[in-house]
Structure 1
Amino acid sequence: MQTWDQIINTALLGTDKRTLAANELPAELAELAALIQNSTTDKEEQFLQIASLAFNYRQCGVLPLKKEGVSVSKAAIEEKLYCSQLAIQTLRDILESESNSLLQFWLQLCEAKSRIVTPELVPALLTIGTQQKKLQNLVVACCGKRGDWLSKFNPEWNFSTATTQEELWQTGSAEQRKAVLEQLRKDDPAMARTWLLQTWAQEDAGTKVEWLMIMAINIGEDDIEFLESLSKEKSKKVKDVALWLLKQIPDSPVVQQYRQVLQKTITIGKKGLQIKLPAGLDEQLFKNTGLDKLSNSKDFTDEEYIIYQLVQAVPPPFWETRLDSEPDIIIRSMQKDPIGKKLMPALVQAVVAFKDQRWATALMQNSQVFYIDIIPLLPVKEQEFYSIRFMDQFSENIIEHAIKREDTWSVDLTRAIFIKTARSVYQYNRSFYSRYIHCIPVEVVPELEKCAPGEDYLRTTWSNTSEYITTLINLKKQTIQSFN
């Protein structure tokens, strides 16, 4: 359309230097253009009105490009049922709320019920998938065959073309492969290790480190052979992470080596518990296992520091066997002994490293000091009991642990958290509640007013925040109802 080229030239030169002539317009627009020119003498106004007229004329008359020999196949017939109208309307509301946590919650329920979204929502979800990598697998599952088909017309949506875990592992993006490996380590650790071995030689050092960090999920005895083989890797970072993982496996050679030394270090004599390193320790113990010979703290002698490292690297049940006693008694006894008291933090680190829930409970019940890192190892009810009890002293740490949970908080814990977050409006703004709405119980709405701070300026902010939380909770409640 030559008229459009003339309009662009006029816009570039300015109406003082050039105006649109009647013969530059299509014949169908001549009469209307004349009316515009007669209605105003302002050149700019005339130009803008004629340009608008030509734009609409152009839009109405454009035909799609046509190329012979190009055929588009239809989307495959859907195998899953569409969501209910209530679920679809809830999804629309969630998309307007821009809460990725709620969207993930909705998609998870949709996938669990083997449902798919209606076709008009597929492009919106695929677009979100390009921005939110962690949602891609859920988006693929919920868009069905139509999503697979549509992704072929937009390279940015091509993450939806691989639908199985193995396909995503072989051909997916870095984020998709990471998500697949994480899930597989939870469901089938052996298969995850097998897939990792298949591509290990092709990965660079940085990627290998990332994969090894994921291997920490369900780390176990079957991983020892693979991890020990990494001692021949060129990258020091890879070797260090592999050694770190081996130290988390009770039956690994390095842990067994530490156990043997500690066995000789801990003795029971007439004066009770005696802790002293055996003479002539093998230098390879320090060279090959990362054990430091020199203390990095003025509170420990070199010998005490070596013992400290051994204690934190050996599974806590060692103490039960060596001292022929129960965790409760051992913990109380160590706190009475000057050296034992200094070693208590190392014992706590061992409990955390080896995820020993029995010893975690014993420590929480018998320790004179509250160790925040033990909380995630406790049963949920105990986690919440101690979290509420020590919220005033360790609020940030406790909240940090709470948001890592995948289940829903109790109303009591939520109330305790909100009382703290309501007083830190900049640190815990609306995005905080939106991000962790999956943890917030729907029953907490009547409790929101009880969480309000005493200060007037904070009460006003909390009132607005409460309304926002209520809106999110209503969407969460509606989502649950949609898939029941």
Structure 2
Amino acid sequence: MQTWDQIINTALLGTDKRTLAANELPAELAAAVELIQKSTTDKEDQFLQIAALAFNYRQCGMLPLQKEGVTISKAAIEEKPYCSPWALQTVNDILESESNSLLQFWLQLCAAKNQVVTPELVPALLTIGTQQKKLQNLVVACCGKRGDWLSKFNPEWNFSTATTQEELWETGSAEQRKAVLEQLRKDDPAKARTWLQQTWAQEDAGTKVEWLMLMDINIGEDDIEFLESLAKEKSKKVKDVALWLLKQIPESPIVHQYQQVLQKTVTIGKKGLQIKLPAGLDENLFKTTGLDKLSNSKDFTDEEFIIFQMMQAVPPAFWETRLNSEPDIIIRSMQKDPIGKKLMPALVQAVVAFKDQQWATAFMQNSQVFYIDIIPLLPVKEQEFYSIKFMDQFSENIIEHAIKREDTWSLDLTRAIFIKTAKSVYQYNRSFYSRYIHCIPIGIVTELEKCAPAEDYLKNTWYNTSEYITTLINLKKQTIQSFND
């Protein structure tokens, strides 16, 4: 519509420099424009009235695009039953609360019951799926045949079409490809590695680093050959990540090299633990495995720093064989030795890298220092026991680990977390409780008053927050009940 372009140009230039000419307007508006021009001589007023007139003419005068031969098929009949009216009312309440965590919880129960939502909810869920990528698979499952059909009319909803992992890997967005690779590393690590190798040459350095970081999932001996081939990469970041991954595989040649050196480095004599590097270390050990020769800390000599780096990349079980002892005894012995005490953090990092649960428990029971990174390796009950025990000293770190869990916290841990978060109302606001409501047990609702801070100026804020938490918990409870009835 050329008229509308002229109106925009006039608005941009101003009525002092340009006015709308009669021949720039549709003939059907001539009479109305003449009345406007007679009713006022003010240029701005005339322009605004004519623009309003043209806008309404444009809105009611447009015809839909006509295309011959286009047919629209009906949506397939639903094979799954619809949710109960109570469940549907609950999800509507959740949508109003704007809690994506609660929505995910509801969708998970809906999918587990093999049910779908009624048609009127499908557009709203598909729209949310475009914004919340992690909910897309659940949205697809809960929207059923109607969702598959409706998605064909909106490109933004095309995630709901039945697309295979291979198709997404080949043609999907960077985020979709990343999600596919991550899931495949969990389900079929070998297949994920094969797909990665097939497209490796086409990727830029930044993407290669992202892909490699995902190989940390289920990393194993079969990945060694591919990772070693990356020594020829141009990007230093890519080579560094590949080395980091190789140092997490017990069968890796790098790990074996380190073990051979440490076998000669650590001895036990009458004076206890003795550590000294053998003379004439192979220079290739530094060139090919990424070891630094010089210490980056005043607390370590160069020799101690070299040993520290190797200890990080050796499975803790190696020390049981080398020292012919149990984890508990080794930890207690190292704490008594000045050098051994300095090397303890390296051993902790090895426990985390190789996900050794036995050594993680031994550290918690015998170490004089609390190592927060070990917490996720412990059985759930032990995680919670030590989290509560050290909450005062390491509250932020412990909460950070707790929110990474997908299961429900115990009442005791939740109470300990809430007592801390209630005192930091800006850091842990309503959004925090909304995001992690899936972890919060229903039973905490009767404990909220006990979590209130002692400071008067914080009590009122916690009272308001408690009301919000109660609303979320009630919705969570309602969700569970609506799918169990």
TMscore range, shorter length? 0.7 to 0.9
- Once the two structures are TM-superposed, the CA of residue 419 in structure 1 deviates from its matched residue by 0.4
In the alignment, the residues of structure 2 paired with residue 53 and residue 205 of structure 1 have an alpha-carbon distance, to the nearest angstrom, of 56
1:267 maps to 2:250: no
Corresponding residue of 2:24: none
Q: Work out whether residues 266 and 276 of structure 1, in 8 Å CA contact, stay in contact via their aligned partners in 2.
A: yes
SS at match of 2:197: helix
Corresponding residue of 1:459: 459
SS at match of 2:447: helix
Q: Which runs of 5 or more residues in structure 1 are unaligned?
A: 35-40
**Residue 194 and residue 79 in structure 1: after superposition, are their counterparts in 2 closer, same or farther (change >3 A)?**
farther
Corresponding residue of 1:77: 77
Corresponding residue of 1:154: 154
Larger mean Cα displacement after TM superposition, 233-242 or 55-64? 55-64
Corresponding residue of 1:37: none
1:122-201 correspondence to structure 2 within 5 Å: 122-201=122-201
Q: Deviations over 1:78-99 (max 9, x none)?
A: 3333222222222111111111
- Once the two structures are TM-superposed, the CA of residue 478 in structure 1 deviates from its matched residue by 1.7
In the alignment, the residues of structure 2 paired with residue 166 and residue 386 of structure 1 have an alpha-carbon distance, to the nearest angstrom, of 43
Corresponding residue of 1:339: 339
1:360 maps to 2:336: no
Which contiguous aligned blocks of 4+ residues in structure 1 show a shift greater than 4 angstroms?
1-14, 23-27, 47-65
Q: Deviations over 1:208-237 (max 9, x none)?
A: 111111111111122112211222222221
In the alignment, the residues of structure 2 paired with residue 230 and residue 366 of structure 1 have an alpha-carbon distance, to the nearest angstrom, of 40
Q: Percent identity?
A: 88
- Once the two structures are TM-superposed, the CA of residue 266 in structure 1 deviates from its matched residue by 1.0
In the alignment, the residues of structure 2 paired with residue 380 and residue 105 of structure 1 have an alpha-carbon distance, to the nearest angstrom, of 21
TM-score of the superposition, structure 1-length normalised? 0.88
**Residue 56 and residue 78 in structure 1: after superposition, are their counterparts in 2 closer, same or farther (change >3 A)?**
farther
One-letter amino acid of the counterpart of residue 482, structure 1: S
One-letter amino acid of the counterpart of residue 455, structure 1: E
Q: Deviations over 1:276-335 (max 9, x none)?
A: 100100011111111111111111111111111122211111111011111111111111
**Residue 483 and residue 175 in structure 1: after superposition, are their counterparts in 2 closer, same or farther (change >3 A)?**
farther
Larger mean Cα displacement after TM superposition, 474-483 or 462-471? 474-483
- Once the two structures are TM-superposed, the CA of residue 198 in structure 1 deviates from its matched residue by 2.8
1:261-410 correspondence to structure 2 within 5 Å: 261-410=261-410
Larger mean Cα displacement after TM superposition, 192-201 or 403-412? 192-201
SS at match of 2:268: strand
In the alignment, the residues of structure 2 paired with residue 182 and residue 373 of structure 1 have an alpha-carbon distance, to the nearest angstrom, of 22
Between Structure 1 and Structure 2, how many residues are aligned? 472
Larger mean Cα displacement after TM superposition, 474-483 or 362-371? 474-483
Q: Work out whether residues 3 and 25 of structure 1, in 8 Å CA contact, stay in contact via their aligned partners in 2.
A: no
- Once the two structures are TM-superposed, the CA of residue 4 in structure 1 deviates from its matched residue by 11
In the alignment, the residues of structure 2 paired with residue 172 and residue 339 of structure 1 have an alpha-carbon distance, to the nearest angstrom, of 52
Corresponding residue of 1:430: 430
Q: Work out whether residues 3 and 26 of structure 1, in 8 Å CA contact, stay in contact via their aligned partners in 2.
A: no
SS at match of 1:72: coil
Q: Work out whether residues 137 and 176 of structure 1, in 8 Å CA contact, stay in contact via their aligned partners in 2.
A: no
**Residue 141 and residue 204 in structure 1: after superposition, are their counterparts in 2 closer, same or farther (change >3 A)?**
farther
Q: Work out whether residues 134 and 176 of structure 1, in 8 Å CA contact, stay in contact via their aligned partners in 2.
A: no
In the alignment, the residues of structure 1 paired with residue 124 and residue 256 of structure 2 have an alpha-carbon distance, to the nearest angstrom, of 54
**Residue 10 and residue 216 in structure 1: after superposition, are their counterparts in 2 closer, same or farther (change >3 A)?**
closer
**Residue 226 and residue 182 in structure 1: after superposition, are their counterparts in 2 closer, same or farther (change >3 A)?**
same
Q: Which runs of 5 or more residues in structure 2 are unaligned?
A: 21-26
- Once the two structures are TM-superposed, the CA of residue 149 in structure 1 deviates from its matched residue by 2.1
Q: Work out whether residues 162 and 172 of structure 1, in 8 Å CA contact, stay in contact via their aligned partners in 2.
A: no
One-letter amino acid of the counterpart of residue 416, structure 2: A
Question: Alpha carbon RMSD of aligned pairs, Å?
Answer: 3.3
**Residue 483 and residue 183 in structure 1: after superposition, are their counterparts in 2 closer, same or farther (change >3 A)?**
farther
In the alignment, the residues of structure 1 paired with residue 76 and residue 234 of structure 2 have an alpha-carbon distance, to the nearest angstrom, of 48
In the alignment, the residues of structure 1 paired with residue 317 and residue 4 of structure 2 have an alpha-carbon distance, to the nearest angstrom, of 82
TM-score of the superposition, structure 2-length normalised? 0.87
One-letter amino acid of the counterpart of residue 140, structure 1: V
One-letter amino acid of the counterpart of residue 149, structure 1: W
Corresponding residue of 2:204: 204
Corresponding residue of 2:252: 252
- Once the two structures are TM-superposed, the CA of residue 269 in structure 1 deviates from its matched residue by 2.6
In the alignment, the residues of structure 2 paired with residue 163 and residue 86 of structure 1 have an alpha-carbon distance, to the nearest angstrom, of 32
In the alignment, the residues of structure 2 paired with residue 359 and residue 92 of structure 1 have an alpha-carbon distance, to the nearest angstrom, of 48
